[in-house]
Structure 1
Amino acid sequence: MSATTFPAFLNLPSELRLKIWTYLLPGPRILPIRFSRTTKSYITPSAPPALLSISSETRSLFLAHYTLLQLNPSYDSTIYIDFALDTLFFEHEDCSPGGDLAADLRICEARDRIERVAIDAHLWEILRLFRYDALSEIRCLTGLKNVALVLRRGDEDADEGLGFFTGNEIRFERCLPSQERLRRMFFEGPATVEQEISQCRWYVSTVKWELDHGSGFEWKNGEPPAVQMWLR
């Protein structure tokens, strides 16, 4: 018997086997969400969980903790989620069959169970061109605990230690509406990393203000979700 095999494993009591298999559960994940126009289904670039394909025993264990996520009931999905642990990350323009993420989330049967959402900051800008309401994608997620706007730093260095931004400080004079930023990018070239960070801070503050001062919201946790900026 080699150091990597254990033929007697199947002879162990099922309770012990399941306890061992539990260590292969993925744990908290950030799941990029995309819609494949080839397969007409929701997919994620993340590797599929191994427990799904080892045996019927491991598959049953996995499905006891994870649920197949169908954002739009008209389309299939290959994404399994633990709502208590995983973050849905909308990081690409192809995250919705019709290009309207807010509409998909409104008809998602599991929308009340989604607790953590992250949206790429540049995708968020694009979405605002079609839906000006800053809360369009999150107002129907009544179980939401955390929402993050994700800024990709690219090849340049950003401010060290920035990490997470909660919207408590802001320099408004450096913030521009999305339409103005698009105009400047066309005529003046891409913004610097520092400008992108400042702009994303403003977006975070906007969402936080809307959540704190908006009316008609009924959050399952009794309070609005935390809002952060992530640097990636």
Structure 2
Amino acid sequence: MEVASSPASPPTFTKFLDLPTELRLKIWAFTAPGPRNVRIRYKGLPDTIEEMNDPRVWPYTSSEPVPAAFHVCQESRAEAQKRFPHKPCFGTRNHHHEAMIYFDFSQDTLVFEGDARDPPINYTLGAFLYGRWTGADDCDKVERLSIGVTEDNYTRSTFIWDEIRRFAGLEELIFYDLDGHLSDKRDVVLVCYRVRDVMLSCYRDTLNLVANRHPQWKLPKIAIKSKDGIQCGELGRGDDNEIYFRPS
């Protein structure tokens, strides 16, 4: 019987340290990541006062790894700190918790996209923006934001626009409908298309309300997408200063 050969191990290069310093540094520079979606999740407040005062017990986590060059070795870290725009961000404003999530404001997207186990998105945003113990630094530097919304958000008179406008430097915003109401599947019963219309109207009408209250607010570019990533349309401010929804 012929025995199947085991998969070949990936090739290794054992002479890296023998390369000239200039060449090694160029190689480290090539490890810079491109634009990333940095997902952030709220863990909740620590269980004890000791943990609350421990700068290492940070109430937010991210599944996005730290760019590799920052922790491979001393040389790579020094080069990454010099060349990469990524910095530890989103420490608490009261200085109880250190900045621990590496982020590049020039190209990364900050993603709030929980699931059934997490607090509602508006609660997480409130903790992130306003919390005495959990309010984060650097919110005004975020340029790209992606948020997964659920039915809980649609029940609020101003949706989550009051939270959104606190991101003063925001340029691009994407909403994802996590409940599936904006699905375009043709086997969905007719009543779901009615729900779809109501959901899309909610975005427009609540934004119009908040934008009229804050006429100096510079709206970011806003896209609305279904759960599976299909763009449904975009929101903006028209020449008449009214908010429009333009289907895709």
Seq. identity, %: 25
What amino acid does structure 1 have at the position aligned with 2:183? A
Deviation of the 1:157 alpha carbon? 9.9
* 2:32 alignment partner, one of 20, 25, 31: 25
Is residue 159 of structure 1 aligned with residue 184 of structure 2? Answer: yes
Q: 1:109 matched to which residue of 2?
A: 137
TM-score by length of structure 2 reads 0.61
CA contact (8 A) 2:42 2:124 kept: no
Alignment of structure 1 residues 76-87 onto 2, 5 Å: 76=98, 78-87=100-109
* 1:70 alignment partner, one of 69, 72, 90: 90
CA contact (8 A) 1:35 1:95 kept: no
TM-score by length of structure 1 reads 0.64
Highest CA radius of gyration, 1 or 2? Answer: 2
**Residues 46-69 of structure 1 deviation map (CA, whole Å, 9 limit, x = unaligned):** 344322321122223444421212
What is the number of residues matched between the two proteins? Answer: 193
Alignment of structure 1 residues 213-228 onto 2, 5 Å: 213-217=212-216, 223-228=218-223
Unaligned runs of 5+ in 1: 161-190
Deviation of the 1:217 alpha carbon? 3.1
Unaligned runs of 5+ in 2: 1-8, 47-56, 229-248
Q: 1:185 matched to which residue of 2?
A: none
CA RMSD of aligned residues (A): 3.7
Q: 1:120 matched to which residue of 2?
A: 148
Structure 1 pair 101/212, CA: closer, same or farther in 2 (3 Å)?
A: closer
CA contact (8 A) 2:158 2:206 kept: no
CA distance, structure 2, for counterparts of residue 71 and residue 123 of structure 1: 30
Q: 2:112 matched to which residue of 1?
A: 90
More helix by share: 1
Structure 1 pair 216/208, CA: closer, same or farther in 2 (3 Å)?
A: closer
Q: 2:72 matched to which residue of 1?
A: 54
